[in-house]
Homo-oligomer: A and B are copies of this chain.
Amino acid sequence: MTDSTRAGKRERLAGAAVRVLHEQGVEKTTLADIARAADIPVGNVYYYFKTKDQLVEAAIEAHGRQLDTMIGALEELPAPQDRLKALLGGWIDQRDLTARYGCPTGTLASELDKRDDGLDRAIATVMERLLDWAEGQFAAMGRADARELAVALIAAYQGISLLTNTFRDPGLMAMEGRRLERWIDSLA
CB of A25 within 8 Å of the partner chain: yes
Contact of A151 among B109, B120, B160 (CB under 8 A): B160
What total of chain A residues lie within 8 Å of the partner, measured CB to CB? 40
Contacts of A107 in B (CB 8 A): 110, 114
Question: What's the nearest-Cβ distance from chain B to residue A27, in Å?
Answer: 3
Which of A5-13, A57-65, A75-83, A164-172 makes up part of the contact surface? A164-172
Segment 150-188 of A: residues with Cβ below 8 Å from B: 151-152, 154-160, 162-163, 165-167, 172, 175-176, 179
State the number of copies, please: 4
Give Cα distance in the complex from A113 to B156, angstroms. 19
In the complex, given contacts A113-B165, A154-B159, what are 18 additional A-B residue pairs having Cβ atoms less than 8 angstroms apart? A24-B114, A27-B28, A28-B114, A106-B162, A110-B110, A110-B162, A120-B166, A127-B166, A148-B175, A151-B163, A151-B175, A151-B176, A152-B176, A154-B163, A155-B159, A155-B176, A158-B162, A159-B162
